[in-house]
Amino acid sequence: MSAPAQVTILIPDPEEMMFVTGTNDQNIDRIEREFAVKIISRGAELRISGDPSQVARVGELVGAMRTISERDEALRKPALERLIGDAKESPVGTPEQMRDAVATTVRGKRITPQSANQRAYTDAIRKFDLVFGTGVAGTGKTFLAAAMGVAALRDRKVARLILTRPAVEAGERLGFLPGDITEKIDPYLRPLYDALYEFMPMERFLRARERNEIEVAPLAFLRGRTLNEAFIILDEAQNTTAAQMKMFLTRLGYGSQAVVNGDVTQIDLERGQQSGLILAREILRGVEGIAFVDFDEKDVIRHELVARIVRAYDRFEKQQ
């Protein structure tokens, strides 16, 4: 029999803590009965003790509960029931195995790596301050990075979450788009917003943005800044120039980590410009503290046709 384990979860937000514990600790009482663990709530700390596998399950459950804590009551209750059911039915494993779950969506769905490369990618983000994820569309690079960034911000491991990408078509065309600078640039950043909305209710996202805890901005907006205590995601990095990539990589400050994602088969730079992602991979291979993860069509998690389309294009390009 495994030795008892204890985990302490910090929940600084009183409303989140109230939702997790329930009125008069009703949720705590139920979770203790369902999973045979002991839970103590003191201030901003939630202490869970018991069998290691059950403690791991409850830890993941609490994280998922925090994700749905701001939903309307009518939506929150069925989502909570689903989470408890999923946690009870999940295979019993060690705490290390349970760490495969990286986040829970606002609809109560647990997100776990779906392939060996996705697992290597999430493990690398946990271990390294700079991770390069390279592969075709639909392999989960941005989605998983956003999930882990939101979790890091929620757990106060970082003070800010920054998502950025180059606006490669934002030259003279930008001036003809309607609205102010934010409205002009937003279409280029929409995929980043979509990823965030999977893991944060709209109200929480807006509050976090007002407090400057979340920033979604074009890459050019980072020039001249030092980004301390931040989780930074650079998306569509294949469309950075060599100078832009160097600028981005030298923005990292104390207590920060960065994830750089891109697909080198979809470079939209002008002819003659070298991709900063390709050059950085050549220069930084072997540098301590940096991890590289390569995805392929086997990691595609969109519609099954996407993987077939990717393979068909690969075959065609090789023939050419």
User: What integer is the mean pLDDT of 57-84?
Assistant: 72
CA distance 86 to 90: 6
The SS3 call for residue 288 is: coil
Q: Which fold has domain 5-102?
A: Ribosomal Protein S8; Chain: A, domain 1 (3.30.1370)
User: What integer is the mean pLDDT of 58-85?
Assistant: 72
Q: Could you report the per-residue pLDDT of 120-162, keeping only the tens digit for each?
A: 999 999 999 999 999 988 888 988 999 999 889 888 899 999 9
Query: 88-120 burial string, b = 16+ CB within 10 Å, else e?
Result: eebeeeebeebbbbbbbbbebbbbbbebebbbb
Residue 261: per-residue pLDDT: 95
Count of CB atoms within 10 A of residue 218's CB? 17
Q: Where are the beta strands (DSSP E) in the chain?
A: 5-10, 38-42, 45-50, 103-104, 110-111, 130-134, 160-165, 214-218, 230-234, 257-262, 290-294
CA distance 2 to 160: 38
Which residues of the chain does CATH 3.30.1370.10 include?
Answer: 5-102
Kindly indicate the confidence band of residue 205, based on its pLDDT and cuts at 50, 70 and 90: confident
CA distance 56 to 150: 20
Tell which CATH classification among 3.40.50.620, 3.40.50.300, 1.10.10.10, 3.30.70.270 matches the domain 116-319: 3.40.50.300
Instruction: Decide if pLDDT at 98 tops 50.
Output: no
φ/ψ (deg, to 5) at 195: -65, -40
What average pLDDT is seen over the chain?
82
The pair of structure tokens assigned to 40 is 């103590």
Q: Could you report the per-residue pLDDT of 291-314, keeping only the tens digit for each?
A: 999 998 777 766 667 667 877 887
Which residues of the chain does CATH 3.40.50.300 include?
Answer: 116-319
Residue 314: per-residue pLDDT: 76
Kindly indicate the confidence band of residue 269, based on its pLDDT and cuts at 50, 70 and 90: confident
Instruction: Decide if pLDDT at 279 tops 80.
Output: yes
Residue 171: per-residue pLDDT: 43
Residue 91: per-residue pLDDT: 56
Residue 317: per-residue pLDDT: 77
CA distance 309 to 195: 23
246: Cβ–Cβ under 8 A, 6 or more apart, which residues?
A: 276, 280
Percent of the chain clearing pLDDT 90 (strictly above):
28
CA distance 190 to 168: 14
Kindly indicate the confidence band of residue 173, based on its pLDDT and cuts at 50, 70 and 90: very low
Pick from 280, 268, 191: which is nearest to 244 by CA? 280
DSSP bridge pairs for 49: 6, 38
Q: Could you report the per-residue pLDDT of 13-49, keeping only the tens digit for each?
A: 788 888 888 888 888 898 898 888 999 998 888 999 9
Residue 72: per-residue pLDDT: 56
